[in-house]
A and B are shown apart, each in its own frame.
Chain A
Amino acid sequence: AQSVAQPEDQVNVAEGNPLTVKCTYSVSGNPYLFWYVQYPNRGLQFLLKYITGDNLVKGSYGFEAEFNKSQTSFHLKKPSALVSDSALYFCAGISGAGSYQLTFGKGTKLSVIP
């Protein structure tokens, strides 16, 4: 069975500090991994994805994520947090083995404190 885990319900970080939102995965085959952000009463907005190639993936708004196969992790990072980054972040995966649906983590609420 595929699963994506986000171990933290909430992450608080001071503005200007680096931020990390954690994600681990368990999918069969080669994983396709994604990060999405959801602002209140809005749909999901795509940030970045890992399909193959470089383990460090750069995405929108200065976010990046590192794919680590040995630790089965895909943590989202940003060197310097902005108050406007405060939102709900979802990690999601596709097994790449005939299933195209996204399996989501439960989401992590990021609060950036001014």
Chain B
Amino acid sequence: GEEVAQTPKHLVRGEGQKAKLYCAPIKGHSYVFWYQQVLKNEFKFLISFQNENVFDETGMPKERFSAKCLPNSPCSLEIQATKLEDSAVYFCASDGGLGSEQYFGPGTRLTVT
């Protein structure tokens, strides 16, 4: 498709519960990125993939966050044992390689109560 798709739009979880977010990148794009937008609009990079391989995971809180991009499946970002500070909007983006612009999905708003 020509747009990055993200599901669900909204997700509410009690503290300690698991949350799983999905992203379908644009067809033909080989790079997928996950960003977290927190209060005051700041964006934080989490992880990137080149096809199904992790490209850069320097932003991932590894204890509770994990992500996958498997062939013929949407990419996923999973948070085990959510905490209040995980409340944010999670954006997925994809692009065709260095120098091309990243296309962003509409985001998933995660609220941890």
| A interface list, Cβ under 8 A from B | 32, 34, 36, 38, 42-46, 49, 51, 88, 90, 92, 94, 96, 99-104, 106-107
Contact = CB atoms under 8 A, between A and B. Distances in A.
B-side interface size class: 20 to 34
A43 B101 CA distance: 14
A45 B101 CA distance: 10
A113 B34 CA distance: 34
**Chain A CB within 10 Å, residue with most, of B33, B45, B95:** B45
B89 to A, nearest CB: 9
A102 B95 CA distance: 12
B43 A90 contact: yes
A49 B101 contact: yes
Interface in B61-113: 91, 93, 95, 98-99, 101-107
